[in-house]
Amino acid sequence: MKTKLLIVAGAVALLGLSTMAMAQRDPAYAAAREAKQVGEQPDGYLGVVSGGASVQALVRDINIKRKAAYTASAQASGATVEQFAFTSGCNLVAKVGQGEMYKTPSGQWKENTGTPELDPRCK
């Protein structure tokens, strides 16, 4: 069990780096984050805070890529896709930058002004 958790944690760390790298390569993603149009969600997927069809398409594309990464990592670690996505969500929300948006465990969008609220199951 401990080995599975370490594998999952390692893969989540890599995913977090991939997400950050994506933000640097994709100006639309970086702009949407800066404009507070998108934010991290506890389920491991990016969400639309505000914005039109182009923001929704951007989020849909990123989430398709995330689900593919979660699926591959879950299969490698013996976890379900949902478990892996949730663990990733915990880590992604915890790393939301100052001034960026995230969804609280109660489902409200909030700007990070310090330490983001995490789902109690993220421990």
Query: Can you give the residue ranges of every domain in the chain?
Result: 2-114
Q: How far apart are CA 80 and CA 123, in angstroms?
A: 18
Q: How many CA atoms lie within 13 A of 103 on its CB side?
A: 18
Looking at residue 6, its pLDDT comes to 42
**What are the pLDDT digits (tens) for 59-108?**
999 999 999 999 999 999 999 999 999 999 999 999 999 999 999 999 99
Q: Contact, 12 vs 91, CB < 8 A?
A: yes
Q: Which pLDDT band holds residue 123 (cuts at 50, 70, 90)?
A: confident
* Average pLDDT estimate for 24-33: 87
Q: Contact, 91 vs 13, CB < 8 A?
A: yes
List, in sequence order, every residue forming a beta bridge with 39; answer none if it has no partner: 47, 101
Percent of the chain with pLDDT over 90: 77
Looking at residue 3, its pLDDT comes to 43
Task: Tell me: pLDDT of 24 over 70.
Answer: no
Q: Contact, 40 vs 93, CB < 8 A?
A: yes
Instruction: Collect all residues with Cβ–Cβ distance below 8 Å to 108 and sequence separation of at least 6.
Output: none
Q: List the end-to-end C-alpha distance of the chain, in Å, as a whole number.
A: 16
Helix (H) or strand (E) holding 39: strand 38-40
Biggest CA-to-CA distance, the chain: 43
Looking at residue 5, its pLDDT comes to 47
Percent of the chain with pLDDT over 70: 80
Q: How far apart are CA 14 and CA 18, in angstroms?
A: 6
